[in-house]
Amino acid sequence: MLRSDAITKGLQRSPNRAMLRAVGFGDGDFGKPIVAIANGYSTITPCNIGLNDLARRAEQAARVAGAMPQMFGTITVSDGISMGTEGMKYSLVSREVIADSIETACNAQSMDGLLAIGGCDKNMPGAMLAMARMNIPAIFVYGGTIKPGKLGPCDLTVVSAFEAVGQLSGGRIDEAELLAIEKNACPGAGSCGGMFTANTMSSAFEAFGLSLPYSSTMAAEDPEKADSAARSAEVLVQAIAADIRPRDLLTREAFENAIAVIMAVGGSTNSVLHLLAIARTAGVPLTIDDFETIRQKVPVICDLKPSGRFVTVDLHRAGGIPQVMKLLLDAGLLHGDCRTIEGRSLAEVLAEVPSEPPADQEVIRPLANPLYAQGHLAILRGNLAEEGSVAKISGVKNPVMTGPARVFESEEEALASILAKRINAGDVVVIRYEGPVGGPGMREMLAPTAAIIGEGLGDSVALITDGRFSGGTYGMVVGHVAPEAAMGGTIALVQEGDSITVDAKQRLIQLNVADDELARRRSAWTKPEPRYRTGVLGKYARQVSSSSLGAVTDQPPD
């Protein structure tokens, strides 16, 4: 029995069938499974501009495989284009809007399965939240990574352009070179080319078994990406017949596998937020501290941008995520018995993958010679983050810093100060009231962090925020500070010049102010008025949870 029988079977459903006939159903189609194709295509961003071609290939393949595909659109926003503006407050919010829209369309139309196609950062976790909520057979098709831009011998990504702004301000390049970087950073379709948030999440979904092997690192414009989309549709139709559902795959062990892969490839801090949200929706017990536990066991073995040398297409040529997972599996760092959407175990999927990475590449290192002996996403706690915070410590030369606080009430204030050269080596930049509630929307701080790198201060300045960081961020940065300032967290009590310690070795983030003084400041603090009271941002601020719980708006009862 199909879920879609509710709209296709019985005399009383004659009007329903009449409408389905108008969109292409014939007499022999009403007993076939109806496959939803959630298409994130748009011309808003290069990440999603190629998705319609993939959706059409998947649609055709689903029909040949014996299903009836029905396509609908989902929104996207571009983090890279909205970065540093008020519009960036809608980025994390869009994750919830995407999840809600997919759930709404699939459940309203009683669809039997879901093939979601996305390219930008929030398409992926948004689709996965919907999959976990509905628990109908589902597969995710990643739109693919962008190929690197070129300027002379250098590979460029969009982060190169953000960092170039700081380099111009610091006198390290001129305006002509800035323009050249701008013109060459993004050569075509696809998501940002390093191991930033989009490629991190696609890698995690492949580790979950909800995307096909090798699909997470394919280039958007290569023919194999469209072939993979078609194959994904075929696999989904088979999964509907076998009744393989997302929550069958999204087990505690699968989340541990995804986290291990994220650590091994040097993935984005945003993955912490998204995996916590997906786990909560799927009913899987997962906390922010689980990331720290796995970090201590899994080394970083991939030399990828933003802090490394290579881009994601290089990782694909070196064997992609299956090669990374095979190394982890052989070392006992993955659960090989986890199932995949193809019906195979992870160990079966990886059986033919070599136990050693190719000798003629430098992207994937053996576990015996890692880039870093432990993972790069550290969970820091202390009186500045009692619920926890996330530090990305790859490429950090000084993992322990104590310095004076430079306090800013918004990202714009901080960026202006950095570009005006008012931030000095040894400073600890604090950007607050940018959290899920306070922003609202938890903006990413790529513009300030890239400007710090561009100014040459990446090894000597720390940045702390209750907002987020782009997957393109690196340096001594600590985000997701919780409780956030708008909820009365200690970050709201920091004053200019206060001493702050960030110690990645001890996993400590500490405001060095006496308890009685903090109590005095707390009693004098008043909750600020909401920046938005209406519209999607106002609604989000009223509903959203702490970042330590994934910043979810759909909060099932405990």
Active site residues per annotation? 470
- 249 with 210: CB under 8 angstroms? yes
CA 498 to chain centre: 33
The answer to whether the beta carbons of residues 198 and 29 sit under 8 Å apart is no
Q: How many CA atoms, within 13 angstroms, populate the side-chain half-sphere of residue 306?
A: 31
Cis ω before 153 (30° cut-off from 0): no
Quick one: which of 76, 172, 75, 66 has its CA closest to 113? Answer: 66
| CA 77 to mean position of chain CA atoms | 14
Residue 362 CB-density burial (10 A; 0-12 exposed, 13-18 middle, 19+ buried): middle
Buried b / exposed e over 477-506, threshold 16 CB at 10 Å, is bbbbbbbbbbbebbbbbbeeebebbbbbee
Strand partners, 429: 406, 463
3-state DSSP call for residue 253?
helix
CB atoms within 10 A of CB 536: 16
Half-sphere exposure of residue 342: CA atoms within 13 angstroms, side-chain side:
15
Which residues, including other chains, have CB under 8 Å from residue 544's CB and lie 6 or more apart? 436, 437, 440, 551, 552, 553
CA distance 378 to 391: 5
Query: What is the 8-class DSSP label of residue 335?
Result: -
> What is d(CA 409, CA 496) in angstroms, rounded to the nearest whole number?
11
The DSSP string of 180-193 is: HHHHHS--SSSB-S
Residue type, 412: E
Instruction: Determine contact, residues 73/97, Cβ cutoff 8 Å.
Output: no
**What count of residues does the chain have?**
558
Q: Give the distance, in angstroms, between the CA of residue 48 and the centroid of all CA atoms in the same chain.
A: 15
CA atoms within a 13 Å half-sphere pointing along the CA-CB vector of 377: 32
Is 60 exposed, middle or buried, given 0-12, 13-18 or 19+ CB atoms closer than 10 A?
middle
Give CA–CA dist 126/122, Å, rounded.
6
**CA 470 to CA 350: how far, in whole Å?**
31
Q: Extract the tokens encoding 522.
A: 């707390």
